[in-house]
Amino acid sequence: MTTVLERLRGADPVFSVEFFPPRNDDEERLLWRTIRELEPLDPAYVSVTYGAGGSRRDRTIRTTGRVATETTLLPVAHLTAVDHSIAELRNVIGWYASVGVRNILAIRGDPPGDVNGEWVPHPLGLSYAEELVRLVRELGDFCVGVAASPYGHPRSVDLATDTDHLVRKLRAGADFAIAQLFFDAEDFLRLRDRVAARGCDALLVPGVMPLTTVRTFTKAVELAGVPAPARVVSRLLRWEDDAPSFRKAGIDLATELCADLLAESVPSLHFYTLNRSKATREVVSRLGLVRARV
């Protein structure tokens, strides 16, 4: 079994990519075109999210299985506790194992409908990602990842408490954590320092989204949960009515952010692709992360 840790602990920095599940057949064809365009670049791994509130999980599971059986890529299966009983979670984990998927990203997930609404666990399910990590570990030889929040989860009272929660997930058996969106390299590096200060040496991977349109910029701010810094706003929104210039500025910003992270010995970059390949291909090419398969 190849694990995420094996792919990330090589001599050279690498990158990975994340997709969201398609809503219909047309989007599924687009997603597979993107997967095939990125495959020759040899990303360390690819993952497919469950969708907001655990929606579209069937397409997520099916697509992850196809990546495992029909491509040369290493799939990481998303798994959330949203609306799942423990028995259902066991079945999903078992199915992943049966098609050769042994790397899982275990996240509690957001409430369906209103991501900021009250979390109500399944009556026969789990309440915390820490519990989900333990369940995956109990069921086989899996490499397990969790989510991290550079700015803190919206439900955390402060960064110290949020970091404590992250460290508990890692010590429950997670091998690595993928950070949600942020705007400055320093925001991720502070997270890394907070985790290290608690005596935890688990691998942390920064999540990056190239901001190629006003829409993706708005989405990034929403996902990060904090306003974008003034320097980012000024560099991008001066081109609000000039799509090509906006895209160029966004690619430049993403490349600079990634270069700053690599300069701080970050071993891997995780790209949120929005099911498109071009921007990610441009950034990793600029950074020299594209490598030929051997």
Residue 89 to residue 108: CA distance in whole angstroms: 12
Token digits for 130? Answer: 């820490």
Residue 252 to residue 283: CA distance in whole angstroms: 8
Nearest to 44 by CA among 78, 72, 77: 72
Burial tier of 38 (Cβ tally within 10 Å: 0-12, 13-18, 19+): buried
Centre a 10 Å sphere on the Cβ of residue 294 and count the other Cβ atoms it contains.
4
Pick the catalytic residue: 6, 18, 39, 138?
18
Burial tier of 275 (Cβ tally within 10 Å: 0-12, 13-18, 19+): buried
Q: What burial letters (b/e) apply to 171-208, b meaning 16+ CB within 10 Å?
A: ebbbbbbbbbbbbebebbbbbbebbeeeebebbbbbbb
Residue 18: active-site member: yes
Residue 103 to residue 77: CA distance in whole angstroms: 6
Active site residues: 18
